Amino acid sequence: MDVKLHPNFANDSVASGAVSAVEACVHCGFCLSSCPTYLDSRDERDSPRGRIYLIRELLQEGQSSTPAQHHLDRCLGCRACETSCPSGVRYGKIADAGRALLEDQLPRSAGQRLLRGLLRKTVPYPGRFGPLLWMGQRLRPALPESLRAHIPPPQTALPALTAQPGHPRRVVLLEGCVQSAATPRTNQATRLVLDRLGVRVIPTPSQGCCGALNTHLGHLEAGRAAMRRNIDAWWPAVDDGAEAIIFTATGCGAELVDYGTALADDPNYASKAQRISELAQDLAAFLAAESLASQVRARDGRAIAIHTPCSQYHALRSPRLVQEILKDCGYRLSPTRDDHLCCGSAGSYSILQPAMSGRLRTRKIDALTMSNPTCIATANVGCQLHLQQEAGVPVVHWVELVWDAIA
């Protein structure tokens, strides 16, 4: 798909970087059957191929129209198309570039600007998001159902960790902005499991959002600023010999492993960003290399449905890791279907595109509960919060089940 870049973009690094990715597309259409939004709407402009055509038009003509922004807004960013693409098209990079270019070109309505601005100014900051969530949880019974559903109830805490300072192995843990406030048991269980394996988590209190929310809303520089802040926060621990930067939210992890690419042109951070990407490791991958089965104390045999987030399935390309770990811990895996399709959470998507997000969630829950599991285990906080609104059974992060098995 040849692209002749418009002179308006001659000095635009975002546009020029998108050209080679767009040109890799041979418009074969294999992506259509794996795209949840196309399967929902049957409008090719809601498919990866259709969106690539719209972005190509923007790159060549120097301007685009509101329909292009509308259909790009409806993209989940699940990257299922990348898994199915025989040409290796980096669709995620194309979509991020298109969003950024259109965000600069096309003004949004006042309501959309307000909503997106509130998301960008609150969600990535635990110090802001946490108190707002606390207040919402206290007011939750009095709120209308449409709003109450988006506010998760507070979680009960796990046992406090008695630190073992003699642990020779050390890692950094990406705490997460939403996860640290809305599902704190995930980080608690992670610390407990790692401690049981003789691994100490190095405190890095100045870390923050991974950068994904701003990046996927078209604010690339704000996303990169978040990356630089985290690199600065983690670098002393990296210098001190941390063996990995562990992430438990695969959506954040998909961003973390891309730091090296995102900051490749930054002379002050390029080498450090690449090192961070090399150290980034999914907790599931980290535990898969440990003798976890020998730690299991009780095999209760509960039937668990595994929800594999898109970020784990398509971005990290490790769709079976959690299944194997939970089997080793004695759980039975409940049959599911359409594991490659998105649940509709997709970061801020469930707030910005509630109708389509809701339809995709209903479809996913039907696929996860087809054999009546006792609970659903997932690997991403956004998916966990989104699914638990409608699932009818508990939805937990899988590391909580690991801790249950070895505690």
Q: What tokens does 259 get?
A: 């730091």
**pLDDT digit string, tens, across residues 267-321:** 999 999 999 999 999 999 999 999 888 888 877 789 999 999 999 999 999 999 9
Query: Could you tell me if 173 and 270 lie in one domain?
Result: yes
135 lies in the same domain as 94: no
| Each residue's pLDDT tens digit, 7-56 | 989 889 999 999 999 999 999 999 999 999 999 999 999 999 999 999 99
Lowest mean pLDDT of 15-19, 63-67, 249-253, 323-327, name the range. Answer: 63-67
Per the structure block, which two tokens stand in for 369?
A: 């509960």
Contact call for residues 373 and 365 (beta carbons, < 8 A): no
Report residue 281: phi and psi, to 5°: -150, 130
76 with 132, same domain: the answer is no
pLDDT at 316: 95
Q: 165 pLDDT band (50/70/90 cuts)?
A: low
Q: Does the pLDDT at position 163 exceed 70? A: no
With respect to residue 159, please indicate whether it lies within any of the assigned structural domains. Answer: no
CA-CA distance, 402 to 248, in Å (whole number)? 13
Query: Domain check: are 252 and 319 in the same one?
Result: no
Using CA atoms, how far apart are residues 152 and 11, in angstroms rounded to an integer?
A: 45
CA pair distance 13, 16, nearest whole angstrom: 5
Q: Is 109 exposed, middle or buried (0-12, 13-18, 19+ CB in 10 A)?
A: exposed
Residue 130, pLDDT > 90, answer: yes
Residue 247 DSSP SS3: strand
CA angle 182, 186, 188 (to 5 degrees): 110
33 Cβ partners below 8 Å, 6+ apart? 39, 84
Indicate whether 143 and 91 sit together in one domain: no
- What is the reported pLDDT for 164? 62
* Maximal CA-CA distance, the chain: 66
Phi/psi region, residue 338 (left: phi>0; alpha: psi -120 to 50; beta: rest), is left
Q: Are residues 179 and 264 in the same domain?
A: yes
Residue 157 located in a structural domain: no
Q: What CATH number corresponds to the domain at position 71?
A: 1.10.1060.10
Q: How many CB atoms within 10 Å of residue 243?
A: 14
Per-residue tokens: 37: 């939004």
pLDDT bin (cut points 50, 70, 90) of residue 384 is: very high
* Distance, CA of 316 to CA of 297 (rounded, Å): 30
Write phi, then psi, for 345 (nearest 5 degrees): -75, -70
Angle at 232 between CA 230 and CA 234, to 5 degrees: 65
Give the residue numbers spanning the domain of 213.
169-287
Min mean pLDDT across 158-172, 189-203, 381-395 is at 158-172
Do 92 and 199 share a domain, yes or no? Answer: no
pLDDT of res. 369: 97
Give per-residue pLDDT as tens, 345-354.
Answer: 999 999 999 9
Helices (H), 24-139: 36-41, 48-61, 66-73, 80-84, 91-105, 110-122, 126-139
Say if CB 193 and CB 401 are below 8 A apart. Answer: no
Kindly report the length of the chain: 407
Q: What is the pLDDT of residues 231-245, one digit of tens each?
A: 999 999 999 999 999
Residue 390, domain member (yes or no): yes
Q: What percent of the chain shows pLDDT beyond 70?
A: 99
Is the same domain home to 20 and 89?
Answer: yes
Give me the pLDDT at residue 301, please. Answer: 82
Tens of pLDDT, residues 48-105: 999 999 999 999 998 887 889 999 999 999 999 999 999 999 999 999 999 999 998 8
Sheet of 169-173: strand order equals 199-201, 169-173, 245-247, 280-282
CATH number for the domain that contains residue 329:
3.40.50.1860
The reply to whether 321 and 362 lie within a common domain is: yes
Q: Do 266 and 300 fall into the same domain?
A: no
Query: Average pLDDT over the chain, rounded to whole?
Result: 94
pTM, entire model: 0.94
Judgement on whether residues 173 and 275 belong to the same structural domain of the protein: yes
Residue at a domain's end among 74, 105, 136 = 105
- Asked whether residue 156 is domain-assigned, the answer is no
Residue 160 lies in a domain: no
Per cent of the chain over pLDDT 90 is 86
Cα separation, 143 vs 158, in Å, equals 28
Asked whether residue 154 is domain-assigned, the answer is no
Does a structural domain hold residue 162?
no
Within this chain, do residues 42 and 134 fall inside the same structural domain, yes or no? no
Residue 166 has pLDDT above 80, yes or no: no
Last residue of a domain, one of 95, 118, 148: 148
In a domain, 164, yes or no: no
Domain tally, the chain: 4
Q: What is the pLDDT of residue 145?
A: 81
Sheet holding 303-306, edge to edge: 332-333, 303-306, 375-378, 395-397
Nearest to 342 by CA among 74, 114, 85, 115: 74
For the domain that residue 266 is a member of, what is the CATH number? 3.40.50
Angstrom distances, CA of residue 276 to CA of 133, 260, 306? 30, 7, 29
